[in-house]
Structure 1
Amino acid sequence: MRRILTVLFLLQVLLTQAQQPELMALMQQHKVPGLQVTYSKGRSTKTYALGLRQAGTGQAVDANTVFQAASLSKVVLAYAALRLLDRGLLDLDRPLLAYAPNPRLAAEPRAARLTARMVLTHTTGLPNWAAYPLGPDWATSELRLKYAPDSCWSYSGEGFVLLQHTLEQISGQSWQALAQQEVLGPLGLTRSSYVWQPAFAANASFGHDAAGQPTDVKQFAAPNAGFSLVTTAADYSRFVQALLRGRGLRPATARLLRTPANAANRCGVPPSPADARVAWACGVGLVETSRGPALWHWGDNGDAKGFFLAFPGRRESLVFLANGAGGLQLTDEVLRLFFGPGEYWTTQWLAAEK
Structure 2
Amino acid sequence: MAMRNIVRSAILICASALLPLQGIAAKSLESRLDVRVKAGMTQTQTQGVAIAFIENGTVKLVKSWGKRNAKGEPLTTDSVMYGASLTKAVFAYTVMQLVEEGRLDLDTSIAHYLPKPLPDYADEEEKYAGWHHLAGDDRWRKLTPRILLTHSSGFSNFGFLEPDGKLKFHFDPGTRYAYSGDGLILLQFVIERGLGLDLGQEMQRRVFDRFGMKTTSMIWRPDFATNLADGWRMDGSTEPHDERSKTRAAGSMDTTISDFAKFAAGYVKGQGLSKTSRKALTTAHLSITTISQFPSLQPEAAPEARIESLAAGLAVISFAGPQGRGFFKGGHNDSTGNMLVCVEKRKSCVVILSNDVRAEPMFPAIVKLVLGETGMPWAWEYGAQDWTKD
State the distance in 1 between where 2:52 and 2:235 align.
25
Q: Does 1:173 align with 2:204?
A: no
Q: Which residue of 2 aligns with 1:306?
A: 338
Deviation for aligned residue 1:310? 1.0
Q: Is the 8 A contact 1:277 1:345 kept in 2?
A: no
Confirm or deny that 1:105 pairs with 2:131: yes
With normalisation by structure 1, the TM-score equals 0.89
Partner residue of 2:7? none
Bigger shift: residues 36-45 or 317-326: 36-45
Shift of 1:142: 4.1
1:206-245 equivalences in 2 (<5 Å): 206-245=230-269
Match of 2:106 among 89, 92, 101: 92
Matched, 1:289 2:304: no
2:294 aligned with 1:262, yes or no? no
Counterparts of 1:122-161 in structure 2, within 5 Å, are 122-132=151-161, 142-161=166-185
How do residues 273-288 of structure 1 correspond to structure 2 at under 5 angstroms?
275-288=307-320
**Which of the numbers 66, 73, 77 marks the counterpart of 2:80?**
66
1:197 equivalenced with 2:191 (yes/no): no
1:46 maps to what in 2? Answer: 61
Does the aligned pair in 2 maintain the 1:68–1:305 contact within 8 Å? Answer: no
Q: Which moved more, 1:29-38 or 1:83-92?
A: 29-38
SS in structure 2 of the partner of residue 131 of structure 1: helix
Shift of the alpha carbon at 1:12?
9.6
TM-score calculated relative to the size of structure 2 = 0.81
Runs (5+) with no aligned partner, structure 2: 1-24, 122-129, 291-296, 386-390
- CA drift of 1:109 comes to 2.4
Q: Which amino acid aligns with 2:367?
A: L
Percent identical among aligned pairs is 24
Where structure 1 has 5 or more consecutive residues not aligned to the other structure, the ranges are: 1-10
CA contact (8 A) 1:287 1:345 kept: yes
Partner of 1:119: 148
SS in 1 for 2:382: helix
Deviation at 1:79, TM superposition (A): 0.8
* AA partner of residue 319 (structure 2): V
**Contact 2:160 / 2:166 at 8 angstroms: preserved in 1?**
no
Give the counterpart letter for 1:321 in structure 2: L
Following superposition, the deviation at residue 21 of structure 1 comes to: 2.6
Deviation at 1:282, TM superposition (A): 2.0
Q: Deviations over 1:282-306 (max 9, x none)?
A: 2221111233211211111221011
Cα 1:273–1:16 change in 2 (3 A) is farther
Aligned partners of 1:162 and 1:260: how far apart in 2?
22
- Report the count of equivalent residues: 336
Q: CA RMSD in A?
A: 2.2
- Summarize deviations over 1:53-82 as a string: whole Å, max 9, x none: 013x22100010011111110011111111
| Match among 250, 253, 261 for residue 274 of structure 2 | 250
Distance across 1 between alignment mates of 2:35 and 2:358: 18
Residue 276 of structure 1 aligns to a residue in which SS? coil
Of 169, 176, 186 in structure 2, the residue corresponding to residue 162 of structure 1 is 186
Q: Which region of structure 1 is more displaced relative to structure 2, 64-73 or 97-106?
A: 97-106
1:308–1:273 Cα change, 3 Å: farther
* 1:82 is aligned to 2:96: yes
The C-alpha deviation readout for 1:196-255, integer Å capped at 9, x for no partner, is 011110111112110222111111011111011111122112212222112111222121
1:348 equivalent in structure 2: 379
- Partner of 2:365 in structure 1? 333
1:105-129 per-position Cα deviation (integer Å, ceiling 9, x unaligned): 3324211211100011111111111
SS at 2:106 equivalent: coil
Partner amino acid for 2:249? A
Structure 1 Cα separation of the partners of residues 59 and 45 of structure 2: 30
SS at match of 1:225: coil
DSSP 3-state at the match of 1:296? strand
Are the counterparts in 1 of residues 160 and 167 from structure 2 also a CA contact under 8 Å? no
Structure 1 residue ranges, 4+ long, deviating more than 4 angstroms after superposition: 271-274
The 1:202–1:44 alpha-carbon spacing in structure 2 relative to 1, beyond 3 Å, is closer
Following the alignment from structure 2 to structure 1, what is the Cα–Cα distance between the partners of residues 230 and 371?
29
Q: Please state whether the residue corresponding to 1:50 is helix, strand or coil.
A: strand
Identify the residue that residue 24 of structure 1 maps to in structure 2: 38
Amino acid at match of 1:118: I
Give me the whole-angstrom Cα distance separating, in 1, the residues matched to 2:212 and 2:366. 27
AA paired with 1:191? T
Per-residue CA deviations over 1:167-201 (Å, capped at 9, x if unaligned) read 11244232211111221111211111110011110
Counterpart of 1:163, as a letter, is L
Q: Is the 8 A contact 2:98 2:104 kept in 1?
A: yes
Tell me the secondary structure at the aligned position of residue 30 of structure 2.
Answer: helix
* Matched-pair contact (CA < 8 Å) for 1:331–1:347: no
Q: 1-side partners of 2:169 and 2:384: how far apart?
A: 19
CA distance in 2, matches of 1:274, 1:25: 33
- When residues 20 and 115 of structure 1 are mapped into structure 2, their CA distance, relative to the original with a 3 A threshold, is same
Once residues 318 and 97 of structure 1 are traced to their aligned partners in structure 2, the CA distance between those partners, rounded to angstroms, is 38
